[in-house]
Structure 1
Amino acid sequence: MLKIVAAVRRKPGMTHAEYLAYIEQVHGKLATDNPLQLHRYVQNHAFDGAYGSGDRPDHVGVFHRDSVTELYFTSPQAMAETFSAEYNRTVIAPDGAHFAELPTNQALLTIETVLVPPPAAPAANMVKIMMLLTCAEGVVAAEAQAGWQAAHEAGLAAAPAFATAICGLTRSDPQDSGPGAAMAAHFGGGDQPPLALLVSIWAPEGALANFRRYERSVLASGLFHRDYSYFLFTREVEILAPRMDQ
């Protein structure tokens, strides 16, 4: 399904807890008050993660994110109508400055593919692991996307305890063109490193100790940039459930 993804960092002066409360209780309510043509809205609240490889002495690379937004649409037309609507332009979009460090946002238009359906009602201990992957030097996005499946399977083989714990799996492939691509600029952050792929994995919290072996194996494929790729451990918060009227 068509989906806009935005990895967001809180603005200066806010605690992580204040940020999460604001986006769920205030910003989320603005969306549900008038969802326009939005089909589904999910906030992924980060509670841990790792950013880059840490191999560079200057630690240049990515920095922390506090959440990842996922906005689902049934069609490019529905997306265009939503982003051009007066309510979005005058109410929802301006609210971003109240919680987000807008220049550091990382936003993109994607197509989501469900590989293993996630639980319809996740247990309290369920974690959504989000891997945000950037191409290695000399690797183009199409090559990284095509090679991910083999890298994923190698990662599962390297971490069998993690492999057996996976309860859901999706991949979201960025789209470089189309009517929705320019709308990602709504979130700011145009200077951030472009992502080649977003992979989301659902697993019980007890499986997280085995995730790093899987993650390191995927990065060892050479497809993804070790300094600009990162992952987040998140709790999924559904702000707007899939609409049955669309």
Structure 2
Amino acid sequence: MNVTAQPPRTDYQHSWPLLAARHDIGEWRHKAGIAARALGADHDAVHVARLGVTELLGNVCKHVAEPQCQLVVAVEGEVLCVRLFDRSHEAPRVTTPDHLAESGRGLWLLRELAFDIGYTLTTGGKWVWIHCALNAGTAVSRAAHGLRPGVLVHDPKPEMIAVVEEVEGFRVKLRRPSGMSWTAERTRLRPATAYEHRQFRALAALQRLRQKGLACPDGPDGPDAGSGRLSPGPAV
């Protein structure tokens, strides 16, 4: 096996410099699986990590002239990350596979199995990365596997609850009762709580009243009429 140095290791990351070669892919696949399990990954996450290493190293052997690579298996929060650096600046492409073909399904299959797959160009080449839930018990996993149109989720970036309108790969289109919509990465979403379901129904009802011209949020005498205690909630 062509290894340029002993892999540095931390409690949250395993990293190896290597020279990509087809006859070594099986060994690196095995190493990645062991590293993923050591980091707390369950069977499904280990499978994605092993498949990712096979596909990414296979693409380097097929498309990149220089074999120098860096393989990283790491944990970020509840997410297992597999990254491979190579010396090419050519962006990987995910295409819909021809089901009669004997190859060409790798990245497409990874995109279907993982939460997130992408690349980052650098001066010396590029990192290609794959993210999946560390294990099925995480909030990340519960959110991702239950994502479908009509499901209510919480997005922490704008601190809002919204309904899933469309799921395409690792991108999810969300919508608020007001019509506000945006796209979020599925890894950051979690299922809405029972309270958030009630809150969303109330917001939707208020929006319907506004559309009918019946809502009067400030009261008949202005915003200071009456008193009470209100819990802050997200904007509509």
> Relative contact order (C-alpha < 8 Å, sep 6+): which is higher?
1
Please give the TM-score of this superposition, normalised by the length of structure 2.
0.28
Please give the TM-score of this superposition, normalised by the length of structure 1.
0.27
- Structure whose alpha-carbon radius of gyration is higher: 2
